[in-house]
Amino acid sequence: MELPSVTEKICFETPAFYANKKIFARIKEDGESLVLYNEERNLWINKDPKTFFITPHYENYKYMLINLERVEPEELKQLLKLAWQQRAPKSAVKQMNL
């Protein structure tokens, strides 16, 4: 999946993905979870708390954790695109929707 204006950097010694210098996803240090920006994370957590969850560290942030072994690939793809849309510049989002 290609998304405009994405850069990859190392964050906490793991790969992280940024849109417009704003992080929207990164691999957690355990290698089994993905940290993902999501403005409606509680909907996902309530839907499937074994797949979508937070730790105390993320309580005050708009991020959730995703268990990579449990999430469906298509669902993960949609969530990554949504996280990117929520963090990317409006011009990049508009370009993607053409």
Residue 98 has pLDDT above 70, yes or no: no
Q: Where are the alpha helices (DSSP H) in the chain?
A: 41-47, 73-87, 90-96
pTM: 0.89
Which CATH number covers residue 26? 3.90.1150.30
Residue 15 has pLDDT above 70, yes or no: yes
Q: What is the pLDDT of residues 33-92, one digit of tens each?
A: 999 999 999 999 999 999 999 999 999 999 999 999 999 999 999 999 999 999 998 887
pLDDT confidence bin for 20, thresholds 50/70/90? confident
Whether residue 1 lies inside any domain: the answer is no
Whether residue 65 lies inside any domain: the answer is yes
Whole domain around residue 88: which residue ranges? Answer: 6-96
Whether residue 24 lies inside any domain: the answer is yes
Which tops the pLDDT comparison, 41 or 2? 41
Give the CA dihedral 16, 21, 24, 28, nearest 10 degrees. Answer: 30
Whether residue 76 lies inside any domain: the answer is yes
Distances (CA, A) of 46 to 53, 56, 79, 98: 9, 16, 15, 33
Contact predicate 53/67, CB 8 Å: yes
Domains: count for the chain: 1
Cα–Cα distance, 98 to 2 (Å, whole number): 14
